[in-house]
Amino acid sequence: MAFYYDDAAHTFNEYLLVPGYSSAACTPNSVDLSSPLVKYNRGETPALTLNIPLTSAIMQSVSDDTMAIALAREGGLSFIYGSQSVEDEAAMVLRVKDYKAGFVPSDSNLSPSHTLEDVLRLKEQSGHSTMPITDDGSAHGRVLGIVTSRDYRPSRTPLDAKVTEFMTPRDQLVVGDKDTSLKEANDIIWDHKLNALPVVDDDDRLLYLVFRKDYDSHKENPLENLDSHKRYLVGAGINTHDYTERVPALIAAGADVLCIDSSEGFSEWQKRTIDWIRSHYGDDVKIGAGNIVDREGFRFLAEAGADFVKVGIGGGSICITREQKGIGRGQATSVIEVAAERNAYLSQTGTYIPLCSDGGIVYDHHMTLALAMGADFLMLGRYFARFDESPTNKVTVNGNYMKEYWGEGSARALNWQRYAHDASKKLSFEEGVDSYVPYAGSLKDNVAVTLTKMRSTMCNCGATTISEFQDKAKLTLISSTSIVEGGAHDVMLKDQVNLLPPR
């Protein structure tokens, strides 16, 4: 006979937080939203943390390198989608790691034989105006000079003019040596009023460039999520089929953390994948696993060696797994039960394994509820798909701006690796839809509003950290009429009324 749960599975929309005592010291500006990304032992510091508890979903319509850069700048992290070739995914990861580094390898270089026409062509291709001139035109050749947009005027300089005619020559350049620290490099930039500082070795070969704009960017974005080399943190999705090829390529490209992208994580396939990673890389490679919805699933992945566990099946806005297969569970109930098992595992082993709540988020306050229920961070698809930085097209639908958004289980994604383990390499049926979401503008502006709400709510509960919030939070189930009561009701909203001028 089948096992029956006594209680119904609940969604975030069925819960409210009950306010607690808030001291004068508990203000939104004092709230710390940092959260562990990977497991750690009690009393130790996690190897990777998030400065805000938001990650973007492993989806074609959400997480490419542009999204990863924008989200890391705000303190979160993206998982580059894995439903593409190994080479293309690794290239996206590499672009993120190279985009913002204290010491950046130059990717726009020319030799003395090149002309202004070559300069303009390279600038259009790369978007970069700073171009080192090296003896062989490579990123690590001997430095002969540098060209910036201040060195020429396209309207006056002949297109066939050699770069040696208008570049700033080596003997006029200020450079840093190979032992220059990032702080020293920034001091040199400021002292000499430079936009970029070349860093060279003992043979005058180019090693890196350090840019003034990177220093300015960090001051404007104090929560930037950076590695020890001041590069943006980035994650990458993998599957349980080609991991022996994909994982080495992603690690070589610089991925900081990996995550198995699967519709159901309580499986031997995930254990095999984790086992292979541990046998080849030990604990150096951080790997998340999932998705699961109950304590048994969590315990299985914890014992398999997962660094974090994703919770949620069928709750995504474009996911129709429950409709197609009758499998899943209310997201709130799933997070509550798995968090309790995570805490039990911590008591028994001394190891804390972070939980990622994936799906079921409709409103901003649902994010805060998920954290209160025990999630350490969230994985969001629809939320990020609405922004300028998502990789999809902005279109007009019935006079409104929308962004395309499709699920990894849809025919459009062609992501059979996520759903099938047979040799057919195709989707037998769809578990995701192809859709549109309302266009919302820039990521930075929207995330700022979301985090303001989150901090304010935590203060209402008397908490200034996520762990304190989880300890102090009081949650109550609400009735359907309470949901109605919680919104605007029994009034006529002004924006829904067409007022006629008086006669």
What does the alpha-carbon distance between residue 89 and residue 104 come to, in Å, rounded to a whole number? Answer: 21
Element (H, E) at 404: strand 400-406
Other C-beta atoms closer than 10 Å to the C-beta of 417 total 20
Question: Burial level of 209, CB count in 10 A (0-12/13-18/19+)?
Answer: buried
406 three-state secondary structure: strand
Residue 147 to residue 129: CA distance in whole angstroms: 8
Count of CB atoms situated within 10 Å of the CB of 281:
14
Q: Report the alpha-carbon distance of residue 445 to residue 491 in Å, rounded.
A: 30
467 vs 25: CA distance, rounded Å: 17
The β-bridge partners of 494 are none
In 305-442, which ranges are continuous DSSP H helix? 321-325, 331-349, 364-372, 382-385, 416-419
Side chain identity, residue 31: V
CA-nearest of 496, 502, 308, 328 to 409 is 328
Q: Residue 98 is encoded by which pair of tokens?
A: 């190279």
Task: Sort 16 into a burial class: Cβ within 10 Å, 0-12 / 13-18 / 19+.
Answer: middle
From CA 102, how far away is CA 240, in angstroms rounded? 35
Active site residue 319: yes
Identified catalytic residue from 26, 246, 299, 319: 319
Strand, helix or coil at 457?
helix
Separation of alpha carbons 30 and 234, rounded Å: 27
DSSP line for 46-92: PSSEESSSEEE-S-TTT-SHHHHHHHHHHT-EEEE--SS-HHHHHHH
Instruction: Indicate which residue of 418, 455, 459, 461 is catalytic.
Output: 418
- What are the backbone dihedrals phi and psi of residue 413, each rounded to the nearest 5 degrees, phi first? -75, -30
Q: Just list the catalytic residues.
A: 319, 418
